[in-house]
Structure 1
Amino acid sequence: MNFLANPLLSSSTLTPLFDPFGFGRAAFDYWRDSVERSVLYLDVMRERGNQYLEHMEQTKPSVLGFDTEVLMDGRTLPRPTNYELLRVLPHEGTEVDLQKRPFVVVDPRAGHGPGIGGFKPDSELGVALKAGHPCYFIGFLPFPEPGQTVEDVVEAEIAFLRHVIELHPETTERPMVVGNCQAGWQLMMGAALEPDVFGPILIAGAPLSYWAGEHGKAPMRYTGGMSGGSWITALTSDIGDGMFDGAWLVQNFERLNPANTHWKKQYHLYDNIDTEAGRYLDFERWWGGHVVLGGEEIQYIVDNLFVGNRLSTAQLVTHDGRRIDLRNVRSPVVVFCSKGDDITPPPQALGWIRDLYEDEDDLIANEQTIVYCQHDTTGHLGIFVSSSVSRKEHTEFTANMDYIDVMPPGLYETTVTHTDDHHDPALIERDYLLEFTPRNFAELDRDVMHKPEDDRRFATVARVSEINLGMYRLFLQPWLKASITPEAARWIRRMHPIRLGYKLFSDRNPLSVPLPVMAEVVRKNRHSVSQDNLFKALETMGSDQIVTSLNSMRDLRDANTEKMFMNIYGQPFLQAAVGLHGDAHVHRRRPGAEPEHRRFVKQRQEEIREKIAQGGAHEAVMRSLIYVLGGAPATDERNFKRLRASRSELEPGIKLSEFKRLVREQFFILKLDREQALNVLPGLLNGLSNADISGHVKQLEHVFAASGELSERAAERFAQIKMLFDKARPAKPAAAPAKAPAKTVAKPKSAAKPAAVAEPTTPKPSAAERAPAKLQSVKPLASAEKKAASKSVAKPANGAGKKTPPKR
């Protein structure tokens, strides 16, 4: 390589006199630069291979970017698993407040190794540590324990969370839990079985509704049908002697985007070889850290989730008879997905809501709070890997979890906007603001795009899968199991094309011996060219053409796959052959539409209706707060300041769980019958003194002022609340007459009128503030007003002593 550094071979000395336009110089500079880049690229591939071999030889490989200590080992549990609970140790200079809510990240076990949730300083763990939360990480080992099942893993995660709760007895809030991709649906299963263990749940890029998807997109949902069902999964596990190689899952991901897999990612490294080597190697350390799953685990996942779609329809039952119904989840759920994600598109991330619940009232009756956020462009990995996403969306999710935890039930969509876009940036504590907008199911349907006619097709796939799996287990599996030995299974894993691609470029290949020496010479005498070089520009154009061609081939492949799937599984003959033809057949269970569930919703509404007139000042104040803020203390974190102030000032000393119950109950009441809920407010305050009522009004004013002026609508509602509070004030006794009352009366005619009767001094409301008609005649106050008025009526001047009823 020394000839490249020879000054006699510089472009200036070799440019002929007949090259006035510099084409020869540009060609030579480009040739030298391309040779140097090729040497450096091959050396990076060599380092990648060495890194892969070193990573795979570790007993506990991880790409986690933080120091940790093991707190619990899943292998010691009654039903052993290969999972671990780790305490994350903050970097030097980062302070952690043990009084804050614990933060737990669970990484996906979908072919890759653990650590992606804390891969970078700007990651899910990094964001939580910067916010001062004590952080924990649930990772896993490369190989499963013998007999390990999905249910065992779910129970292990529940045990880990219980241990985290025990470590923070001074914290009343349950841990916030983050599940990425596959870990998301595992966490939802655990939260459905043990809802009291989980705090707010953030699921990022997690598929829960596997039949959902938009036509022309989401090609992975057709994979099971085009392979004839889950028999291929059983075959792959049997080839591995009961172990399923995660490299097969990684290969499925790579096939989704052949342009990026076979050209774009590698060319980007080659084109920016001087700056991209470190980032590329860091990512490849995780992407190539393939792990192994148990055959029973992956079969359960494919049969019940990817093909059967039984999680979002409450059809899964544990081995001990417990139904896994996601409607049992009591924690707020934040769903983070992206329109640019072709592995877990928004319909698959959000479709479970539509599968389980019929409408918003059904959602509210189940006391469920669901918040979803859709990124516009980022891919599947970017949801939980991208630093820009972590600095923006994940920072806001973490900062607002306490707010989300006390939000009333309902469906909300969030957007993240910059502080400068708002008129009151002083009230915003960070660079971005997370805003919440209530949504209805009609708006949700536009994102889910559910098509009932597709359900029969996917139900047909599930039936065909059961048939093919049964045939495989009857005829082929016994022969295969008898011929595969553990040694043969290990050799097959090592010869997987993806694994082999790493090893061939490592130092174990004798041809790579001169690469480090050549690369060192190039680095010392590097001659890079700029994009202005004609041939470099032509190279870039050629790369773009290759990417475009590969993308066109992918689109054609996906379109044909979808067309074949729709035609094959839409055939009436095939549907009839598996017993699914006919309009009367129920192809997909809809738990929200079942009669027993509708009875539950009606019963729940009756229970709430009975509580409308129950309670006291606490209920009246919180009901007023929610009503003034528009039916839900939502929109953004500035209103959270109001809610937080209401907890510390209006309800001092109340526990978060009780405060949450109070907020939700009063929200239910207002949602069910707002007119009656307001009508009984004076009755809830009955018995309080004028000073107490005035104190509550002043406290409400202070809370509402926490984030600036109220909107016009909120101000009108607050005026209505003040009027209702005034109705509850006790009647003031009239001034006692003088000892010689006859002398103090100027006009005898007016003595026939009663003296001033104590009445609530309610200002006359404007037309915009005037309450409904029913609010002007509050029946629960009638007896109280008569009793108070009878004691406070002064004697008339004529001495008749006749009692006069108060004015109405």
Structure 2
Amino acid sequence: MSNLFASAFEYLVDARQRSVLFLDVMRRRGEQYREHMSETVPHVLNYEIELVVDGRNLERPVNYGLVRVKPPAGVEVDPTRRPFVVIDPRAGHGPGIGGFKADSEIGVAMKAGHPCYFIGFMPEPMPGQTIEDIARAEGIFLEKVIALHPDADGKPCVIGNCQAGWAVMILASLRPELFGPMIIAGAPLSYWAGVRGKNPMRYSGGLMGGSWLTALTSDLGAGKFDGAWLVQNFENMNPSNTLWTKQYNVYSKVDTEADRYLEFERWWGGHVNLNAEEIQFIVDELFVGNNLAAGRIKMSDGQPVDLRNIRSPIVVFCSKGDNITPPQQALGWILDLYRDVDEIRYYGQTIVYTVHETVGHLGIFVSGGVAKKEHSEFSSNIDLIDVLPPGLYEATFEAKSSDTARADLASGNWVMRCEQRTLDDLRAMGGNSIEDERRFAAAKRVSEINLANYRKFVQPWVRAFARPAIAQWMRNLHPLRVGYEAFGRDTPAMKSLAAQAKAARENRKPAVADNPFLKVQETMSNAIINGLDKWRDAQESLSESLFLAIYGSPALQAAVGIDPNANPSPRPAMSAEHRKRLDARIAELKSKIASGGLRECGIRALLYVGMARGMVDERGLEALRRMRRQDSASRMSISEFKTMVREQFFMLMLDQEASLAAIPGMLPQDAKPRRAAFAAIREVLSAGGTISGETTKRLGRIAQLFDLDRAATDGSDHPVSPKAKAS
């Protein structure tokens, strides 16, 4: 019994101290919030920066700016390497999450030797700025980056996080000449997509009657939409974390978790505003309208936004653990636009995706584990992505070990491969039925009707009432801001709390880990979490059922004009202009099949043999790099090499037999360069693993076309088996 009393006393002392220290963390959070929001350009970048272009000074001013990120001590960047440009989402929070930690996107890109730039924004939008204005401004920023690096080995690699992802895709479709490879991290592009029982956020627009509520909120804000409401939506998706876990984790581990918590809250609480025109475009055209992949968005000059116009490789990061942008929303646009992989190739597009199993939405661009693996591998191997033949690939990662062949050719701790995929691989992730598509189409039409009625009958009255002073008063009273402000003021109560926390730290007496009352505390916490999770699950299930029932009603669909026999999201057809250009390009490539020399033959042969593997390995590219460095006479820029690879790839696609039959006539008569070229091909292929099976047979055929006997092609004794050579 005495032990129990001793444990109880120990726990009570510990609990009291933890309570004081927890409240002090809330006080520090409030002070941090007020200091952060008092800055002219609040951000959470973990690096020094210098302003390059201020978007407020452009012809169409925007609250965006381009800054150069200064490398920290011990990190050197090469100005001739491809620059990286990171763009953060403007989804309620302030900028900086892409450079939030040393291992986030900016950090790993600089460690790989790339100059880095960041496009951020200020809390208040410029009067009248639109999404199109921002896109045009970002185009000017990229022009500036390109001008600052005239000797770079490629156009900038642009990273678009979350909502910045779709903004980058829009700009790349309008200005494809500005972009190198694009990394779209956790970005929604196919807004209706998802899996029943898992992705409830996509139903929220329909259940609220559409975007009229967005217009009402903007009108009450005197023409501005308070980003705190967007943050509130994210908070509502996980009530157990919002209402309990996040705070309890600090309370229960207050001696170690305070700094990490405050670091994150500095970003999470940095709310920004959007113009009414901006948020209305986002909701109407994207989240409710789902018009991006369908090609139904047009700029003010009538130019359509067609994602098939993008010519740079597109890298998509997504995760099964992301409840904000699930893989279906990150990748479904590919199914919306293309019938098959051949059609992707017809447009000359290279799409690479990687799907993480567990990481959450924010972890895609700030998690140390993801950054050290996926982001660092892509940063180190961005040239591999840039020269991939057109098609659809999945990036996979294998940990290096003592058994890894040619491990010296792979940077970092992983070996990255890009493996060919088909659209069936994307369909296997799940998605909507045609009936569900009609439901979302009905919700879109209801939204349009409700918005029109609101604008006609209600909006004039709301705007007459709303004034800037009232709007500011309402923003100040938003529940999320009140939570920060309540502890952030310099009051006698807060001074007393700071003194008590100082005393608690000096006399800290934590309970031992096996204290039975700590175990009871954990049990109670788990019960609260389970209860809130069950409430969330029940709420989400009810929301899904209501949406499916309401918008699946044949009467409602008929009333709003949904054809029960038509596909509400037809795949956009290839334009006559593009078909004409494609036919001309095909004719041009066929006419050039027999043109070229040893270099063209080498690339054609390497592609032909490599196709048997269905994947490209980073070790093969590194082997090519080393050969290129050794042979100064054959130096080609990345752009020139990429063009040649694509031409030879398309020739093989158009007429493989004719392309191979032309090789002997293109080769030099001298056997020595032919042997050297063949040895280089074999070296690149062997860098990625053992040459066997169909790869061996194809390599034997290339040996015949190069008119080399077995001994001449042998690096040891038997590079090509007699059986393979005969084939």
Q: TM-score, normalised by structure 2?
A: 0.95
Counterpart position of 1:543 = 525
The alpha carbon displacement at 1:713 in A equals 3.4
In the superposition, relative to structure 1, how do residues 600 and 213 fare at CA in structure 2: closer, same or farther (>3 Å)? farther
Is the Cα contact below 8 Å between 2:380 and 2:411 reproduced in 1? no
Is the Cα contact below 8 Å between 1:210 and 1:305 reproduced in 2? yes
Structure 2 CA distance for aligned equivalents of residues 129 and 690 of structure 1: 44
SS at 1:104 equivalent = strand
Counterpart position of 1:501 = 483
Is the Cα contact below 8 Å between 1:213 and 1:347 reproduced in 2? yes
1:577 is the counterpart of 2:562: no
Selected match of 2:609 from 604, 628, 636: 628
The alpha carbon displacement at 1:392 in A equals 1.3
1:527 is the counterpart of 2:505: no
Structure 2 CA distance for aligned equivalents of residues 675 and 646 of structure 1: 28
1:285 is the counterpart of 2:272: no
SS at 2:429 equivalent = helix
1:140 is the counterpart of 2:140: no
Listed one character per residue, the Cα deviations across residues 723-765 of structure 1 (whole Å, up to 9, x for unaligned) are 112199xxxxxxxxxxxxxxxxxxxxxxxxxxxxxxxxxx998
SS at 1:476 equivalent = helix
1:468 is the counterpart of 2:447: no
Selected match of 1:439 from 421, 424, 438: 421
SS at 1:591 equivalent = coil
Listed one character per residue, the Cα deviations across residues 235-269 of structure 1 (whole Å, up to 9, x for unaligned) are 00001000000000000000000000000010000
In the superposition, relative to structure 1, how do residues 602 and 421 fare at CA in structure 2: closer, same or farther (>3 Å)? farther
1:166 is the counterpart of 2:173: no
In the superposition, relative to structure 1, how do residues 459 and 215 fare at CA in structure 2: closer, same or farther (>3 Å)? same
Is the Cα contact below 8 Å between 1:434 and 1:636 reproduced in 2? yes
Structure 1 CA distance for aligned equivalents of residues 47 and 104 of structure 2: 11
The alpha carbon displacement at 1:602 in A equals 6.2
Is the Cα contact below 8 Å between 1:358 and 1:592 reproduced in 2? no
| Worse-matched range after superposition: 397-406 or 612-621 | 612-621
Is the Cα contact below 8 Å between 1:408 and 1:632 reproduced in 2? no
Counterpart position of 2:713 = none
Listed one character per residue, the Cα deviations across residues 404-427 of structure 1 (whole Å, up to 9, x for unaligned) are 100101111112221127432343
The alpha carbon displacement at 1:123 in A equals 1.1
SS at 2:124 equivalent = coil
Structure 2 CA distance for aligned equivalents of residues 44 and 212 of structure 1: 40
In the superposition, relative to structure 1, how do residues 653 and 435 fare at CA in structure 2: closer, same or farther (>3 Å)? closer
**Residue type matched to 1:215 in 2?**
R
Structure 1 CA distance for aligned equivalents of residues 590 and 439 of structure 2: 43
Selected match of 1:671 from 645, 653, 671: 653
Counterpart position of 1:242 = 223
**Residue type matched to 1:92 in 2?**
A
- Aligned residues, how many? 716
The alpha carbon displacement at 1:378 in A equals 0.7
1:387 is the counterpart of 2:368: yes
Counterpart position of 1:734 = none
SS at 2:267 equivalent = helix
Listed one character per residue, the Cα deviations across residues 83-116 of structure 1 (whole Å, up to 9, x for unaligned) are 0000101111211111111111111110000111
Structure 2 CA distance for aligned equivalents of residues 219 and 605 of structure 1: 45
Which entry has the higher C-alpha Rg, 1 or 2? 1
The alpha carbon displacement at 1:218 in A equals 1.3
Higher relative contact order (CA 8 A, sep 6+): 2
Structure 1 CA distance for aligned equivalents of residues 327 and 340 of structure 2: 19
Counterpart position of 2:692 = 711
1:725 is the counterpart of 2:706: yes
1:261 is the counterpart of 2:242: yes
1:416 is the counterpart of 2:397: yes
Counterpart position of 2:674 = 693
| Worse-matched range after superposition: 84-93 or 710-719 | 710-719
Counterpart position of 1:612 = 593
Q: How does 1:730-769 map to 2 (within 5 A)?
A: 766-769=722-725
**Residue type matched to 1:149 in 2?**
T
Structure 2 CA distance for aligned equivalents of residues 53 and 123 of structure 1: 26
Structure 1 CA distance for aligned equivalents of residues 580 and 537 of structure 2: 47
Q: How does 1:482-493 map to 2 (within 5 A)?
A: 482-493=464-475
| Worse-matched range after superposition: 29-38 or 694-703 | 694-703
Is the Cα contact below 8 Å between 1:205 and 1:380 reproduced in 2? yes
In the superposition, relative to structure 1, how do residues 42 and 411 fare at CA in structure 2: closer, same or farther (>3 Å)? same
Is the Cα contact below 8 Å between 1:646 and 1:703 reproduced in 2? no
**Residue type matched to 1:276 in 2?**
E
Counterpart position of 1:176 = 157
Is the Cα contact below 8 Å between 1:641 and 1:707 reproduced in 2? no
Selected match of 1:151 from 132, 151, 160: 132
Structure 1 CA distance for aligned equivalents of residues 470 and 490 of structure 2: 22
Is the Cα contact below 8 Å between 2:328 and 2:431 reproduced in 1? yes
Structure 1 CA distance for aligned equivalents of residues 689 and 564 of structure 2: 60
Over the aligned positions, Cα root-mean-square deviation in angstroms equals: 2.2
**Residue type matched to 2:96 in 1?**
G
Counterpart position of 1:122 = 103
SS at 1:217 equivalent = coil
1:27 is the counterpart of 2:27: no
Q: TM-score, normalised by structure 1?
A: 0.85
SS at 2:193 equivalent = coil
1:108 is the counterpart of 2:89: yes
In the superposition, relative to structure 1, how do residues 675 and 727 fare at CA in structure 2: closer, same or farther (>3 Å)? farther
**Residue type matched to 2:77 in 1?**
V
Counterpart position of 2:639 = 657
Structure 2 CA distance for aligned equivalents of residues 611 and 444 of structure 1: 35
The alpha carbon displacement at 1:387 in A equals 1.4
Structure 2 CA distance for aligned equivalents of residues 669 and 386 of structure 1: 42
Is the Cα contact below 8 Å between 2:395 and 2:417 reproduced in 1? yes
Is the Cα contact below 8 Å between 1:82 and 1:141 reproduced in 2? yes
Listed one character per residue, the Cα deviations across residues 117-138 of structure 1 (whole Å, up to 9, x for unaligned) are 1111111111111112111110
Structure 1 CA distance for aligned equivalents of residues 223 and 134 of structure 2: 18
Is the Cα contact below 8 Å between 2:288 and 2:444 reproduced in 1? yes
Is the Cα contact below 8 Å between 2:92 and 2:273 reproduced in 1? yes
Is the Cα contact below 8 Å between 2:295 and 2:307 reproduced in 1? yes
Is the Cα contact below 8 Å between 1:212 and 1:348 reproduced in 2? yes
Structure 2 CA distance for aligned equivalents of residues 544 and 336 of structure 1: 32
**Residue type matched to 2:418 in 1?**
F
Is the Cα contact below 8 Å between 1:642 and 1:704 reproduced in 2? no
Is the Cα contact below 8 Å between 1:346 and 1:448 reproduced in 2? no
Counterpart position of 1:305 = 286
The alpha carbon displacement at 1:701 in A equals 4.2
Listed one character per residue, the Cα deviations across residues 322-362 of structure 1 (whole Å, up to 9, x for unaligned) are 11111111111110001000000000000011111110100
Structure 2 CA distance for aligned equivalents of residues 448 and 336 of structure 1: 17
Counterpart position of 1:363 = 344
Is the Cα contact below 8 Å between 2:52 and 2:68 reproduced in 1? yes
The alpha carbon displacement at 1:568 in A equals 0.4
Counterpart position of 1:561 = 543
Structure 2 CA distance for aligned equivalents of residues 97 and 116 of structure 1: 24
1:318 is the counterpart of 2:299: yes
Structure 2 CA distance for aligned equivalents of residues 597 and 313 of structure 1: 17
Selected match of 2:44 from 59, 63, 72: 63
Unpaired segments ≥5 residues, structure 2: 710-718
Selected match of 2:254 from 269, 273, 294: 273
SS at 2:393 equivalent = strand
